[in-house]
Amino acid sequence: MKTVEKLGKTVEEAVELALKELKAKREEVEVEVLDEGSRGLFGLLSRMAKVRVTLKKKPEEKALEFLRGLFNILKIAPDINMVYEEDGLCKIEMKGKDLGIIIGKRGATLNALQFLTSLVANKESGEYQRIVLDVEGYRKKREKVLRELALKVAKKVKETKKSIALEPMPPSERKIIHSTLQNDSRVKTHSEGEEPYRRVIVSLKYPPVR
């Protein structure tokens, strides 16, 4: 973290000088007043105000710090690469040996870790940073499986004319199911339940008349 100390006729003036040097906005820093300064006889300045201004960590920096601390406890050391995508998404990719423990069954551990990392990263942050964790390209493989599942379930719904409820999924995975079937002329999808047990329901658009 970068820190500067500045003097000014007032605390605010000292803070402004620090912000200018750090090229930062007020909400991006933490300010510690070291000396409020004082005025002497007849209002003359006798002691300058002094502040220490520190740049706050960015959400993605806090995310990496959290993950590295956790991996140190687990005694694993994956290679970590951070990628910014066009929509403002921050993707943290991890590669290495014995990383199955991070993924868990059907990505449950990875999704839980992503949720916790996002909470830590965005705590007391001025702007929300969306963060996605991936291990050895797991997200892409999982997306393929979900798209195939969506098509398979849609086919079964058309054959049986009965709605089918899928297993609970996180929002990102439910979105894949919805997008895969959104242009299907015979079936529709919607979500039911409360997180983390919210699930997608696939049903006929036009139920048969009884």
Mean pLDDT of 119-126: 84
Phi then psi dihedrals of residue 65, to 5 deg? -65, -45
DSSP, collapsed to helix, strand or coil, labels residue 181 as helix
pLDDT of residue 206: 80
For the chain, which domains are there? Answer: 3-55 (no CATH), 59-136 (3.30.300.20), 140-204 (3.30.1370.50)
Quote the Cα angle for 59-64-67, to 5°.
125
196 preceded by cis ω (within 30°)?
yes
Q: Are 164 and 188 in contact (CB under 8 A)?
A: no
19 sits in which H/E element: helix 11-22
Residue that is written with structure tokens 């500067």 in the block: 4
Helices (H), 46-137: 59-74, 100-103, 108-122
The predicted pLDDT at position 123 comes to: 87
* Helix pair angle (171-181, 138-160), 10° resolution: 50
Radius of gyration of the chain (CA): 26
Cis peptide bond N-terminal to 59, omega within 30? no
For 41-66, how does the pLDDT look when each residue is reduced to its tens digit (9 = 90+)?
666 657 889 999 999 888 899 999 99
Q: What average pLDDT score do residues 30-47 get?
A: 78
Q: Rounded to an integer, what distance in angstroms lies between the CA atom of residue 88 and that of residue 148?
A: 28
Q: What is the pLDDT of residue 209?
A: 54
Bridge-partner residues for 7, per DSSP?
Answer: 50
Residue 89: which pLDDT band, with cuts at 50, 70 and 90?
confident
Which pLDDT tens digit goes with each residue over 150-203?
999 999 999 999 999 999 998 889 999 999 999 999 999 999 999 888 999 999
Quick one: what percent of the chain has pLDDT higher than 70?
A: 93
Residue type, 128: Y
Give the type of residue at 190. H
* 202 vs 191: CA distance, rounded Å: 9
User: Is pLDDT at 133 greater than 80 in this prediction?
Assistant: yes
What CA–CA distance (Å, rounded) separates 181 from 172? 15
pTM over 0.85: no
The residues, any chain, with a CB within 8 Å of residue 113's CB and separated by 6 or more, are 70, 102, 133
Which of the 8 DSSP states describes residue 42?
Answer: G
